[in-house]
Each structure stands twice: as C-alpha cells, then as structure tokens.
C-alpha cells in the first residue's frame, strides 16, 4: 500500500522522476545515428503505470504526442505479457504496429518492465522515429499507400530481450527490413542504452526513498493533474462550440476530407465530439484511435499550458470518435501521414476553443510537416535517404505575433539544420529563407512560412512529398485572417511543375542540378487587422516580411506615416 506524501517530498520526487525521463531522452539523442532523432529529437521516454500503462512521467525534450500514444503502446505490451504468461525481469518488447501503439510505423517502440522486489513496479519505454523501416517509399511517407504493408515493415509486440538476453534473430529481421541497417542498428542501441539508464536511475531512486513513497508520489501526481484540469474547466463558460476544417485529400482521390469537432463544457467536464468527420480513407491520412486520444491531449496541453504531462489530465475529458471515421482506423488501413491529420485535429480544437475563450488559444499554425524524402544511390552504389520535415508560421495570439518559421505544434522537435543535411546527403540548399507575404493578417499577425529550394548533386534520385494545407489555408481566430497556403514545385527538363494533388506526390525523378522547392504556409492572424499598430506594419515592410502593396491593401495607408 502506498504511503501518503507531503508536498515538499512530492515536488522533489516529481523533479527526480522527470529528470530520469529527461536523461533517457538525452542518452538517445546523443547516441542515435539518424538525424531525425539526433538533431530533430523525434523520440520520447517515460515511466508508465504497471497495470494500466497510463503515462506517469514523460521527458520534457520528447514529443508531446507520445504522452498519450505511449500509454496505449505500454498497455499493448501488458496485454501481450498477460496472455503469454511469461513476463520476466530483463524482458524488453519491441514493435512498431501503429494501430496498437499509435502514430505511424516509423516510430519504433521499446517497452521494458521495471521490477522491484520481484514485482513490476512500473514500465519504462522508449520510442524513436527510425530513418527507414522498409515499405514502398524510402523514409516511409508513402502518399499513395492504400494499406499499411505499403508503408513499412509491420512488427507486432515481440520480445527483443528475454530475461536480459537480447534475441539476435529479432535484430536480424529488423536490419533485413531497412534500406539503412547501420542507422537502424545505431538507433536501436541508443534506445537500449536509454532503457538501461532508466533502470539504473530508478534503482537509485527507490533505494533512497523506498518503493511506497515513490508509488505514493506517482499516484499523487496523477490525482493532482486531474484536480488541476477540473479547476481549469470550471474557469470556462458552459456551452457548446463547433469547428470544421479540411484535409486537401487522401493522396489517392482528390476529394477534400472534413474534420469536425464539437467542444462542450459543463462544469468541470469537457466533451470532444468528432461526429461529422470523414470516414476511413483509401489513402494514408487515417489515424488509429490511440493517436486521436493523444492528439486531444496535445491540444488541451496547449490551451492549458500549466498542466503536468501525465494521464490524469484526460480523466475529466470524454472523447467521442465515430467508429469508421478516419480518426479511428483499424488495421491494415494506412496511417503513414498521421502527422497531417493530427495537426488538423489540433486546429479544429483550437478554433472551437477560441469561441469559448479566445484569450487562451492561438490561431492555426501552418498545419503540415511537409514530409519530404529524396533518395538515391551514391557513385559507389550505397543507398542514401534524406528524410526531413520543414517549418512554417505559427498563429498569432492575444499577446504577440506568431513565431516565424517554427516547428509543428505536435512536438518539441527541431528542424534539422541545413548544414547537417548538406553534410550527410548529396544535396545543396539554394534557398532557406522566410516567405514574404505568407502571414495571416490580424491585430497580431501570424508567423511567416519558409522557402526551401533543394538541388540534387548526385546523378539521379527520386523525391516523395507528403504534405497538407495546399488548398485549405491555416485559419485565424478572433477576426484574424488566414495564412498563405502550402506550395510545392519540382524541376524537370521542361521547367517547374506542381503536383496534381497539390500537397502529395511520389516518384518525382530528379537529375543532377534539378531541384525541389517548398513554400510553406504562414500562421493565421489573431484579432482584426484594422486594429494592428501601424508601426508594426511599417516594421514588417522594412524587414521584407510584407510588401508595401499588401500592407496598404490589408492594413490601410497609416503605416506609411511611421518612421522606418
């Protein structure tokens, strides 16, 4: 039975456990071979409940989306171990099945029971985005996939280690199903090292404070998160607010796909009802239910930023996701483009919440990671795959303009620097710059998108794009205007072209000296443009963020009278 715990000890233990998760994050970031983990920090670590798999503590450097989805991943392992009846100290499970563990097949999950005095005290878990996991498209963002098998190699929960003994046959299977085995081996070793460190740090913690005290702290942290969430909800007006936005298409059929939410607040409870959202699609913009739940958590965490990162936050929130919708896809529906769909989920939650409490939300961010991969072979025959994601403008808020060229609000990841990409791959960036006139107008404008133009230096390669917001711009709130839409061009012998589906295309053949160009969306504006400070408009014009013509058209001529 867990002890009661005083507030000072609780604060100390909360910090210690967060530090364990943070140190696990840092261990993987330093050890990983793959720049998506090492530079962009597309990974996460945490501590999870021994029975339910609920998130207890997550590292601050990992992706917020993993707070929710990794609890489903850990629960899948708990259920597997219970069915098999052979769980032992030193076991490590590995899998990437996104319909069980959320997100997509590029995210490799390792789950390890942490034993104390012969019993499972909690679970430790590591998840990281591997560079390539087989499938039809290098980097695994296949915009034309119609089933999971076309996206990547699918691995259900299996034991990578049994009682501390690593199963080499499992590693052999993994390395045979990737174009980049050295990268996969390095990332796997980094994740194993992070879990080993987590075990050591937990041993030290329990030796110092005792299992009952630490267990009491974990219980208290979840309970207090629930209490804080209920208090935040009671501060909102009761009511029901709706919002709808769209995905460009599913990558197969050029038909817009609605994502709709009704946000209802009654006292200290909230309902998020997604009735009216498009059904499961043929193409890979579906997400599994665990991903939908985790996305709601990310949106709520943005609206209420002081809440802690554990499962107690979601106890007062009811999720209603229609069966058969693209937010509750079942295996083997393709889910590789999950990032695009969860960004639109966040957008509609923000747009609905803005009607209830506009001071709490920001306008829509740019709304796509623009997953771009370029792949080919070097002169010596060695394969290379440059996969990366790209930034855009964030939405304006009641306090300030939106961030220029930020990363997607689903993560704390960073955009890999061009120096890293150019050093690792045979490409040259002709341009990496802010995109003028892309910000949504408002009292506080949105942030600017970016322009990336990438030239191929090898003899030939293929490019693949999985993006969004090519037809439906990021929305403003509180009277703010929408940002600029996403644009993609690719160079061929007869000039520049655009994808027929606007934001998705595979099999773009490039020759040496040809390039691709992304012009990413700006963020939506906050508040009416007529109320923007003319000196702020003048500053934007002077910095080249906004053309003089558009400044006068949108904000009127008053800015011309300001000193520049």
What residues form DSSP beta bridges with 320?
A: 273
Confidence of residue 139 (pLDDT cuts 50, 70, 90): confident
pLDDT score at 413:
64
CA distance 182 to 509: 26
CA distance 407 to 409: 6
Q: Where are the domains of the chain?
A: 7-226, 362-532
SS3 per residue for 330-364:
CCCCCCCCHHHHHHHHHHHHHHHHHHHCHHHCCCC
Summarize pLDDT for 156-212 with one digit per residue, the tens: 999 999 999 999 999 999 999 999 999 999 999 999 999 999 999 999 999 999 999
CA distance 102 to 408: 18
Q: Is the distance from CB of 491 to CB of 454 less than 8 angstroms?
A: no
Summarize pLDDT for 344-374 with one digit per residue, the tens: 999 999 999 999 999 999 999 999 999 999 9
Both tokens of 186, joined, read: 């390095």
455, 464, 469: which is closest to 392 by C-alpha? 469
Model confidence at 64: pLDDT above 80:
no
Confidence of residue 288 (pLDDT cuts 50, 70, 90): very high
Model confidence at 287: pLDDT above 90:
yes
Q: Is the distance from CB of 426 to CB of 339 less than 8 angstroms?
A: no
Q: Is the distance from CB of 374 to CB of 463 less than 8 angstroms?
A: yes
pTM score: 0.92
CA distances for 179 relative to 130, 223, 506, 533, 538, angstroms: 11, 45, 18, 53, 51
| Averaged pLDDT, 125-133 | 93
Q: Is the distance from CB of 243 to CB of 35 less than 8 angstroms?
A: no
Is it true that the peptide bond before 332 is cis, omega within 30 degrees of 0?
yes
SS3 per residue for 436-482:
CCCCCCCCECCCCCEEEEEEECCCEEEEEEECCCCCCCCCCECCCCC
Share of the chain above pLDDT 70, in %: 98
CA distances for 99 relative to 68, 73, 80, 464, angstroms: 14, 9, 15, 24
């Amino acid at each position: 039975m867990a002890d009661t715990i005083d507030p000072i000890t609780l604060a100390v233990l909360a910090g210690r456990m967060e530090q364990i998760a943070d140190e696990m994050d840092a261990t993987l970031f330093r050890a990983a071979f793959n720049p998506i983990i090492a530079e962009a920090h597309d990974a996460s670590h945490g501590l999870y409940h021994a029975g339910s798999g609920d998130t207890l503590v997550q590292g601050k450097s990992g992706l917020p989306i993993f707070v929710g989805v990794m609890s489903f991943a850990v629960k899948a392992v708990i259920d597997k171990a219970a069915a098999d009846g052979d769980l032992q100290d030193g076991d490590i499970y590995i899998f990437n099945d996104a319909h069980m563990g959320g997100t997509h097949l590029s995210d490799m999950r390792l789950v390890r029971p942490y034993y104390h005095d012969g019993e499972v005290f909690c679970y430790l878990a590591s998840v990281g985005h591997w560079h390539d996991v087989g499938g039809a498209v290098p980097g695994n963002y296949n915009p034309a996939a119609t089933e999971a098998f076309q996206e990547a190699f699918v691995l259900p929960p299996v034991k990578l280690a049994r009682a501390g003994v690593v199963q080499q046959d499992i590693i052999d299977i993994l390395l045979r199903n990737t174009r980049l085995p050295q990268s996969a081996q390095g990332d796997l070793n980094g994740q194993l090292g992070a879990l080993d460190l987590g075990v050591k740090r937990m041993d030290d913690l329990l030796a110092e404070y005792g299992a009952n005290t630490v267990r009491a702290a974990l219980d208290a942290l979840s309970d207090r998160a629930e209490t804080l969430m209920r208090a935040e909800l009671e501060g909102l007006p009761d009511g029901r607010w709706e919002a709808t936005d769209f995905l460009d298409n599913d990558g197969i059929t050029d038909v817009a796909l609605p994502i709709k939410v009704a946000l209802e607040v009654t006292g200290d409870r909230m309902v998020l009802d997604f009735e009216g959202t498009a059904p499961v699609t043929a193409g890979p913009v579906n997400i599994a239910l665990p991903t939908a739940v985790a996305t709601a958590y990310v949106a709520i965490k943005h609206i209420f930023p002081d809440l802690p990162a554990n499962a107690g936050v979601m106890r007062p929130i009811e999720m209603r996701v229609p069966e058969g919708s693209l937010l509750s896809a079942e295996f083997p529906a393709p889910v590789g483009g999950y990032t695009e769909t969860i960004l639109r989920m966040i957008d509609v939650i923000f747009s609905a919440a803005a009607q209830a409490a506009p001071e709490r939300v920001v306008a829509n961010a740019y709304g796509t990671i623009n997953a771009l991969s370029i792949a080919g072979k070097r002169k010596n025959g060695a394969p290379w795959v440059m996969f990366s994601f790209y930034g855009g403008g964030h939405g304006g808020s009641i306090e300030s303009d939106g961030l220029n060229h930020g990363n997607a609000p689903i993560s704390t990841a960073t955009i890999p620097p061009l120096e890293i990409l150019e050093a690792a791959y045979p490409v040259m960036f002709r341009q990496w710059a802010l995109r003028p006139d892309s910000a949504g107008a408002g009292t506080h404008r949105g942030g600017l998108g970016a322009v990336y133009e990438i030239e191929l230096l090898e003899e030939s390669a293929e490019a693949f794009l999985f993006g969004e917001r090519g037809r439906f711009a990021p929305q403003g709130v509180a009277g703010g205007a929408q940002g600029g839409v996403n644009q993609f061009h690719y160079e061929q012998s007869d000039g520049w072209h655009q994808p027929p589906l606007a934001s998705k295309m595979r099999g773009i053949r490039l020759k040496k000296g040809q390039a691709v160009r992304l012009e990413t969306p700006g963020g939506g504006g906050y508040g009416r443009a007529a109320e923007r400070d003319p000196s702020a408009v003048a500053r934007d014009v002077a910095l080249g963020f906004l053309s003089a013509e558009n400044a006068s058209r949108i904000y009127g001529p008053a800015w011309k009278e300001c000193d520049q």
